[in-house]
Amino acid sequence: MLKLISNITITQQSGGVYNLKQISKLEIKKSRDTLTNTATITLPRNLKLFQNNRKTDLNSILVRGSKIVIDLGYEQNHNDIIQSGLKTEFTGYITELGSGVPVEIKCQDEMWNLKKNTFTHSWKNAALDDIVKYIYDGARDIVGLNVNNYQCANKTAAQIFEELKSFKVRFYFDSAGVLKGEFAGKTTKSNKSGLEEVYYDFAKNIIKNDLVYKLKKDAPIKLIATSNLDNGKKIEIVLGDTNGEVHTLNYYNMDQNNLQIIAGNEIGRLWYDGYRGTFTQFGVPFVEPGYVAVLHDALYPEHDGAYLIEAIETTFGIDGFRRKVQLERALA
pTM (whole model) above 0.85:
yes
Query: So what's the pLDDT on residue 55?
Result: 57
Local confidence band at 328 (pLDDT 50, 70, 90 cut-offs): very high
Local confidence band at 49 (pLDDT 50, 70, 90 cut-offs): very low
Who wins on pLDDT, 69 or 43?
Answer: 69
Query: So what's the pLDDT on residue 53?
Result: 47
Q: Is the pLDDT of residue 44 over 50?
A: yes
Query: So what's the pLDDT on residue 21?
Result: 81
Query: So what's the pLDDT on residue 214?
Result: 95
293 in Cβ contact with 328 (< 8 Å): no
Mean pLDDT for the stretch of residues 245-271? 92
Query: So what's the pLDDT on residue 187?
Result: 66
Mean pLDDT for the stretch of residues 181-209? 81
Query: So what's the pLDDT on residue 30?
Result: 97
Mean pLDDT for the stretch of residues 172-177? 90
Q: Is the pLDDT of residue 195 over 90?
A: no
Query: So what's the pLDDT on residue 56?
Result: 62
Query: So what's the pLDDT on residue 89?
Result: 96
- Burial grade of 288 (CB within 10 A; 0-12, 13-18, 19 or more): middle
Local confidence band at 244 (pLDDT 50, 70, 90 cut-offs): very high
Who wins on pLDDT, 55 or 212?
Answer: 212
Mean pLDDT for the stretch of residues 33-50? 80
Q: Is the pLDDT of residue 125 over 90?
A: no
What average pLDDT is seen over the chain? 89
Angle at 281 between CA 279 and CA 285, to 5 degrees: 125
Q: Is the pLDDT of residue 158 over 80?
A: yes
Mean pLDDT for the stretch of residues 130-159? 93
Query: So what's the pLDDT on residue 173?
Result: 94
Chain centroid offset of residue 194 CA: 18
Distance (Å, rounded) from C-alpha 133 to C-alpha 192?
27
Q: Is the pLDDT of residue 12 over 70?
A: yes
Mean pLDDT for the stretch of residues 58-83? 79
